[in-house]
Amino acid sequence: MKETETIKYTVLTALRAAIEDYCKKEKPDLDPSSLKIRIEYSREESFGDYSTSFALENSKLLGKKPMESAQSLVGLLQSKTDLFEKVDCTPPGFVNFRISPKYLIQVLEKTVLKGESFPQVADPLKINLEFVSANPTGPLNIVSARAAATGDALANLLKAVGHKVEKEFYVNDYGNQVFLLGVSTLVRIREKLGESFSVQENEDGTSIDLLLEKNTIPSEGYRGEYLKEIANTLLDDSKTSLEIQDLLKEKKYKELAEKCSKWAVESNLKWQRKDLDLFGVGFDRFYSETTLHDAGKVVGVLEDLKKSKKILEEDGKLLFKSEEYGDDKNRVVMREDGRPTYLLSDIAYHQDKIHRGYDKIVDIWGPDHHGYIARLSGAVQALGFPKESFQVIIAQQVNLLMAGQKVKMSKRAGEFQTMEDLLGFLGKSGKDVGRYFFVMRSLDSPLDFDLDLAKDESEKNPVFYLQYAHARVCSIFREVGDQSSASALEKLELTEERKRLLFWLARFPEEVLDAANSLEAHRLTNYLQNLARSFTQFYIAKNNRLKDSDTETRLALARICQSVKEVLFLGLQLLGVTAPERMEKT
């Protein structure tokens, strides 16, 4: 289906036509295109399905009281009997629309029941969606898991409406942090071989070589238990172990630390990819930062920025003129000693994305990166990429709760630190529950992840609530068969709970489109919960029991149930969650 065939778009088109007619009659000198025209879902179902505050928002331009304009619009819209069951207005000037059940059925038959649930955008884009991109200095944490679940769901939504999406993981395998990982791994190796180490109390400028000679762990080094596992793996390999011991004998600590950096990065990245696979999240590309430097792209982008006069020199440093793009100060891209900053690498990486021909670039970053947006957005613009085509979404912190209290993410306390820990705690349903819970809230808001609720396998758990609803429909069809009839549905007497369910079902295509356009996957979870509640009201009504109905009624009700099954299946699939056909209640 086309995006212009959704109910919301059709209602908006009818409203615009009525406004044009209204302006011709009441305000002939007023250009309708200058008016703010929008519709939204009614906050109260008793008012209608959609509403518009047009008369309120444009009262000054219209020169009339909002209720007067609203009443005039109602008169113009009431003739649309094929689309609307009812149009009315409520103070202080809202126009409310109730969609005709007949029209809802037509939409269902043309979309969900025809296998065309996803509206296709008129101008599909080639989109680069980068997410997770965790440092390869350790395992994936809980925020990375949130970014993984939401990023993958967004990719599914964007693809569903027709965009070409490439999912990318940027591997930060270059620089001081990676070298410190190698140093820390080397320390664990030497401890395994019987040496003892003390910890540097404060960073005092002592070189890494000297610290390693003095058997001292750098204060900023990594101390995770996972480094012991990496050390064991390296020493268990006879060839690698021999190489390590030869370099230790020669006290070539820096050379060995660099080798350990590479080995540790490979090990951690393998671990991260394994966790992502268990979570059902795959990527089209893992892009190494090191390859940027090796290919000369970091130096290259600096030269490009110099040519466009976007670089200035100050106290021996080179700065990008990010103030020109709204940043609070210009940013260093090259230090006095000639070493590039992380920002310059990031600019080079995004130039590479631009050169790959994407129409839109979307990055999902971790918490506390808001201040970084202006400088990178400015750099992207300086490279000739449209500002509106680059978007950053911040994945905020996750608070793990148990018995209403925050759980400290500490391995030493035997509690949660990593994505792997969480999935292990959630058990066999970890993938489904984890993915759904992480997407339930907007990424830019902190998330309280209720571990007790996540472990609950009853309908109190929002994931199981949806899965039970899908399994319930499958159970109905096992009992009475899945034969249905479109003509029977057209003749069906529509009670209030039947009308409500039809509306929620017919909304599915536009909900998918809205979630994709806004890059807000949580909107789909909200919709699915409302749909499942509507189906529950439908299911418990005695007059909707298929096995007790006459043939025509059963065929009509089965048509509705088929739509429920299809929408729940597709909605859960977009979120990366399974839709079981059988479930045992607990």
Instruction: Compute the distance between CA of residue 17 and CA of residue 225 in angstroms, rounded to an integer.
Output: 66
Which range, of 80-84, 380-384, 520-524, averages the lowest pLDDT? 80-84
Q: Which two tokens stand for residue 570?
A: 């597709």
At 407 the pLDDT is 86
Instruction: Compute the distance between CA of residue 74 and CA of residue 486 in angstroms, rounded to an integer.
Output: 32
Residue 318 banded pLDDT, cuts 50, 70, 90: very high
pLDDT, tens digit, 9 for 90 and up, residues 51-69? 999 999 999 999 999 999 9
At 241 the pLDDT is 96
Mean per-residue pLDDT, 163-169: 99
Specify burial of residue 340 (Cβ count, 10 A radius: 0-12, 13-18, 19+). buried
CATH 3.60.21.10 describes domain 462-575: no
User: Looking at the predicted structure, is the pLDDT value of residue 268 above 80?
Assistant: yes
Helices (H), 356-485: 370-382, 419-426, 430-439, 451-455, 462-480
Instruction: Compute the distance between CA of residue 438 and CA of residue 525 in angstroms, rounded to an integer.
Output: 10
CB under 8 Å to 103, separation ≥6 — which residues? Answer: 7, 82, 83
- Phi/psi for 40 (5° steps) reads -145, 165
Specify burial of residue 43 (Cβ count, 10 A radius: 0-12, 13-18, 19+). exposed
User: Looking at the predicted structure, is the pLDDT value of residue 416 above 70?
Assistant: no
User: Looking at the predicted structure, is the pLDDT value of residue 81 above 90?
Assistant: no
Is there a contact between 402 and 429 (Cβ–Cβ < 8 Å)?
no
At 414 the pLDDT is 44
Closest CA to 408 of 395, 426, 421, 423: 421
Q: Give the residue with greater pLDDT, 443 vs 225.
A: 443
Mean per-residue pLDDT, 195-203: 89
Instruction: Compute the distance between CA of residue 17 and CA of residue 404 in angstroms, rounded to an integer.
Output: 52
At 499 the pLDDT is 97
User: Looking at the predicted structure, is the pLDDT value of residue 413 above 50?
Assistant: no
Is there a contact between 146 and 435 (Cβ–Cβ < 8 Å)?
no
Average pLDDT in the chain = 95
Residue 204 banded pLDDT, cuts 50, 70, 90: confident
At 79 the pLDDT is 85
At 415 the pLDDT is 52
At 323 the pLDDT is 97
CATH of 3-99 given 3.30.1360.70, 3.40.640.10, 3.30.70.260, 3.40.50.2030: 3.30.1360.70
pLDDT, tens digit, 9 for 90 and up, residues 466-487? 999 999 999 999 999 999 999 9
At 224 the pLDDT is 84
User: Looking at the predicted structure, is the pLDDT value of residue 32 above 80?
Assistant: yes
Is there a contact between 305 and 382 (Cβ–Cβ < 8 Å)?
yes
At 411 the pLDDT is 43
Which strand (E) or helix (H) includes residue 508? helix 508-518
At 410 the pLDDT is 52
Mean per-residue pLDDT, 301-308: 98
Instruction: Compute the distance between CA of residue 467 and CA of residue 564 in angstroms, rounded to an integer.
Output: 12
- The domain ranges of the chain are 3-99, 176-263, 462-575
User: Looking at the predicted structure, is the pLDDT value of residue 585 above 80?
Assistant: no
User: Looking at the predicted structure, is the pLDDT value of residue 40 above 60?
Assistant: yes
pLDDT, tens digit, 9 for 90 and up, residues 207-257? 888 999 999 999 888 988 899 999 999 999 999 999 999 999 999 999 999
- DSSP one-letter code for 411: T
Closest CA to 186 of 216, 166, 165: 216
Mean per-residue pLDDT, 192-220: 90
What percent of the chain shows pLDDT beyond 90?
A: 93
User: Looking at the predicted structure, is the pLDDT value of residue 13 above 60?
Assistant: yes
Q: Which two tokens stand for residue 367?
A: 């918490």
Which position has the token pair 């900023």?
220
CB under 8 Å to 425, separation ≥6 — which residues? Answer: 416, 451, 455
pTM metric for this prediction: 0.95
At 409 the pLDDT is 60
